[in-house]
Chain A
């Protein structure tokens, strides 16, 4: 059997989630799909498993085009998807979850099938145990045998190693190798290089909605990182300024996030300095940004800004100390659906008495719309703006006199013109003494705008680099977890 995706396209508004992706996978192949968050992997796999419909393109199994309208069609064609959070029904038992989706099955027969399939992979199931008592890894195991029992010949796993133990991961990889040995196709979706390297025979790398490479493994790690992050073309365009006073200082900071723990982090950032945070998604960059913003309370250590130790203090005190945070999810954590541009300026701005003067609010909003070249009107709801204009609105909402600006992926999803505009605005702030700490999945952006680059790997800071003395190859290696030494 073989599986082929032909020229798959899926656009969400201006965002080209999949922009003409073609992949072919043969029988018995363990195929990796690698890419940063937002590269389009999940969209592609949702199309392949029937959860969403492609705008155009074909899914072909054994040279037959499959009409993919719902997950039912995918299952019928032998394509089974294991989601990042296994779709189990918590109040039900293991056996009940197993027979869901196959309601005509005989219970006793199902029980023996469950135990037999489990045994063949070394999974131990208790059929009557409630699923809520199972770990994420055990839920995955249940989901895998369920899909196999339903007749899956293609198994898609979306970031399956998130939240499972090392033992369970070893067991999972062993099971996947066995399945491939039996002639099944396994598609392993991940942003973790080392896992794809350890498990897969081939890998397709996705970046910005396109498949940018299809290579047999093992392959040189810097080549993979370069495909994921893009080649850095220009370096150090801007004048690296002399250092000013300290803007923010972290001393022996320890923070626990859900999956990442930062340990004993020391960092001194000066006014007018730009710090880039590099690393694979989920390596600790967001944890650092959110703890600096005051959204994650550190376990121990100091976080000093504006002459005070803010560690453990609420978010609002961080804001008052001049720390400003712009998260990646613009409509989730920044702007508000159903609230207009003018209203956003009112919400973010200084409050002048209890009553809103709508006339002057609109005048002010028009002025700022013009100043920041936002395509939209004062009465446009935030969600009607394009991604680039949402980012412009967020920047326009930022008050003057921000000392430390924390940004996640400042230009993700933006076209080149918008991205350049965003950075020209940010650099104006830097000239005025604002320190910027930003995370990015773009080598070029990191090297071009940072003074220093902090590289994260698996929740640890593995290098602090002077951007002027760093090249893309070294950075790519570090992001992949290997130093050239």
Chain B
């Protein structure tokens, strides 16, 4: 018997059960600190989508998470736990920053080049983890984690080394990029190009997984590599392609972080969106169509929770608690359903 990675399969309604359970759990937590859960959730809403400015901010936070998650849908479908997504975001950001600092051509050209550079850098970083997995048999979790550290080390080196701010080296980041290298915005923050990139990525991944031979084969390789190989699929190619696509989208996420949001390179450029993306994709049960709303919901919680510390004196980490509780309850509900289905099947057999 081959061992198979656990795949969450939800029946309709189970996500709702999971959300209700998670909200119930966090309400209890909030109530235990003496604050009103209802007030807390109202503030979360207010703080994330309550005003146009806040909505713009939330959308710009949604973009990198949605991009990274879309890429993870591809790698997870192929059965690869792409923990290296954080490093791929960072490498994308570094490449985009290089373009933003060094190229002097006018906004359209710089942005095009930066997106292309970020995409390629993330793709190569993903491919590297893929090559280690396929040809050197290094599990992609360990290879990816190692490459995460390398990328993070590199960004810190750049920020306090060669790209340090004029005068002083500081971990607060490089100098701001020249204005021509910023993604143009509507209002203060909202960069339509970034939104368009995220939407294109999600639609493309959805179409890839739903309507192409490539996507179907990828799914087959993820579900049972032995059978897929015997059926005639060249499994190595598909594993590498999945890592390349996942890395490329993560690289674009890094690009948006650098030239669309921070406008400089900072050590924490990934924003943790890679790891958060893993939770989003788990909750979406690897389905691209669900990534957009779930990522948005996660971002609402992240952005909105800063209000809780200001207004209710709660620690802003409550947002992370809600997100974690959501995934845990979803996994629990999913596991419980699998168990029930198994029992039902067993009962029918006798």
Please report A residues at the B interface, Cβ cutoff 8 Å.
Answer: 11-13, 55, 295, 315-316, 319, 325, 327, 329, 331-339, 343, 346-348, 351, 354-356, 358, 397
B217-A347 in contact (CB<8A)? yes
Does B211 make an interface contact (CB < 8 A)? yes
Does B229 make an interface contact (CB < 8 A)? yes
Residue with the highest number of chain A CB atoms closer than 10 Å, among B9, B219, B232: B232
- Measured between C-beta atoms, what is the minimum distance from B342 to chain A in Å? 12
User: Which residues on the B side are within 8 Å of A337 (C-beta)?
Assistant: 4, 223-224
A335-B227 in contact (CB<8A)? yes
Partner of A339, one of B211, B214, B219, B229: B219
- Measured between C-beta atoms, what is the minimum distance from A102 to chain B in Å? 30
Docked Cα-Cα span, A356 to B214, in Å, equals: 9
A-B contact pairs, 17 of them (CB 8 A): A11-B350, A13-B349, A295-B230, A315-B230, A327-B230, A332-B227, A335-B224, A336-B228, A336-B231, A337-B4, A338-B7, A343-B220, A347-B231, A348-B231, A348-B232, A356-B216, A358-B211
Does B19 make an interface contact (CB < 8 A)? no
Other than the known A335-B224, A355-B211, what 11 A-B pairs have Cβ atoms closer than 8 Å?
A: A331-B227, A332-B224, A332-B226, A332-B227, A333-B227, A338-B9, A355-B212, A356-B211, A356-B213, A356-B216, A397-B231
User: Which residues on the A side are within 8 Å of B226 (C-beta)?
Assistant: 332-333
Docked Cα-Cα span, A150 to B4, in Å, equals: 35
Partner of A354, one of B214, B229, B349, B350: B214
User: Which residues on the A side are within 8 Å of B228 (C-beta)?
Assistant: 336, 347
Does B2 make an interface contact (CB < 8 A)? yes
Does B1 make an interface contact (CB < 8 A)? yes
Does B234 make an interface contact (CB < 8 A)? yes
Q: Which residue on A lies nearest to B350, using beta carbons?
A: A55
User: Which residues on the A side are within 8 Å of B195 (C-beta)?
Assistant: none
Does B56 make an interface contact (CB < 8 A)? no
Count the A-B residue pairs with Cβ separation under 8 angstroms: how many?
68
Residue with the highest number of chain B CB atoms closer than 10 Å, among A12, A338, A348, A397: A338
B349-A11 in contact (CB<8A)? yes
Docked Cα-Cα span, A319 to B230, in Å, equals: 9
A338-B223 in contact (CB<8A)? yes
A332-B2 in contact (CB<8A)? yes
Docked Cα-Cα span, A55 to B211, in Å, equals: 44
Known contacts being A346-B213, A358-B211, is A334 close to B227, with CB within 8 Å?
A: yes
User: Which residues on the A side are within 8 Å of B214 (C-beta)?
Assistant: 354
Does B233 make an interface contact (CB < 8 A)? yes
Docked Cα-Cα span, A163 to B214, in Å, equals: 41
Residue with the highest number of chain B CB atoms closer than 10 Å, among A333, A336, A355: A336
B220-A336 in contact (CB<8A)? yes
Q: Which residue on B lies nearest to A11, using beta carbons?
A: B349
Docked Cα-Cα span, A334 to B9, in Å, equals: 22
User: Which residues on the A side are within 8 Å of B7 (C-beta)?
Assistant: 338
User: Which residues on the B side are within 8 Å of A348 (C-beta)?
Assistant: 231-232
Docked Cα-Cα span, A37 to B217, in Å, equals: 32
User: Which residues on the B side are within 8 Å of A343 (C-beta)?
Assistant: 216, 220
Known contacts being A332-B2, A336-B220, A337-B4, is A325 close to B212, with CB within 8 Å?
A: no
Docked Cα-Cα span, A335 to B227, in Å, equals: 6
Docked Cα-Cα span, A334 to B224, in Å, equals: 9
User: Which residues on the B side are within 8 Å of A336 (C-beta)?
Assistant: 220, 223-224, 227-228, 231
Known contacts being A334-B227, A347-B233, is A339 close to B220, with CB within 8 Å?
A: yes
User: Which residues on the B side are within 8 Å of A331 (C-beta)?
Assistant: 227
User: Which residues on the A side are within 8 Å of B350 (C-beta)?
Assistant: 11, 55
Docked Cα-Cα span, A397 to B2, in Å, equals: 22
Docked Cα-Cα span, A347 to B217, in Å, equals: 7
A356-B349 in contact (CB<8A)? no
B1-A332 in contact (CB<8A)? yes
User: Which residues on the B side are within 8 Å of A351 (C-beta)?
Assistant: 213
Docked Cα-Cα span, A280 to B1, in Å, equals: 21
Docked Cα-Cα span, A402 to B4, in Å, equals: 31
B232-A319 in contact (CB<8A)? yes
- Measured between C-beta atoms, what is the minimum distance from B33 to chain A in Å? 41
Docked Cα-Cα span, A131 to B216, in Å, equals: 44
Docked Cα-Cα span, A291 to B223, in Å, equals: 25
Q: Which of B143-186 contact A (CB under 8 A)?
A: none
User: Which residues on the B side are within 8 Å of A334 (C-beta)?
Assistant: 227, 230-231
A12-B223 in contact (CB<8A)? no
User: Which residues on the B side are within 8 Å of A11 (C-beta)?
Assistant: 349-350
Docked Cα-Cα span, A55 to B350, in Å, equals: 8
- Measured between C-beta atoms, what is the minimum distance from A13 to chain B in Å? 6
Docked Cα-Cα span, A118 to B224, in Å, equals: 44
Partner of B216, one of A55, A325, A346: A346
Residue with the highest number of chain A CB atoms closer than 10 Å, among B224, B349, B350: B224
Q: Which of B264-303 contact A (CB under 8 A)?
A: none
Docked Cα-Cα span, A397 to B214, in Å, equals: 18
User: Which residues on the B side are within 8 Å of A354 (C-beta)?
Assistant: 212-214
Residue with the highest number of chain A CB atoms closer than 10 Å, among B9, B217, B230, B232: B230
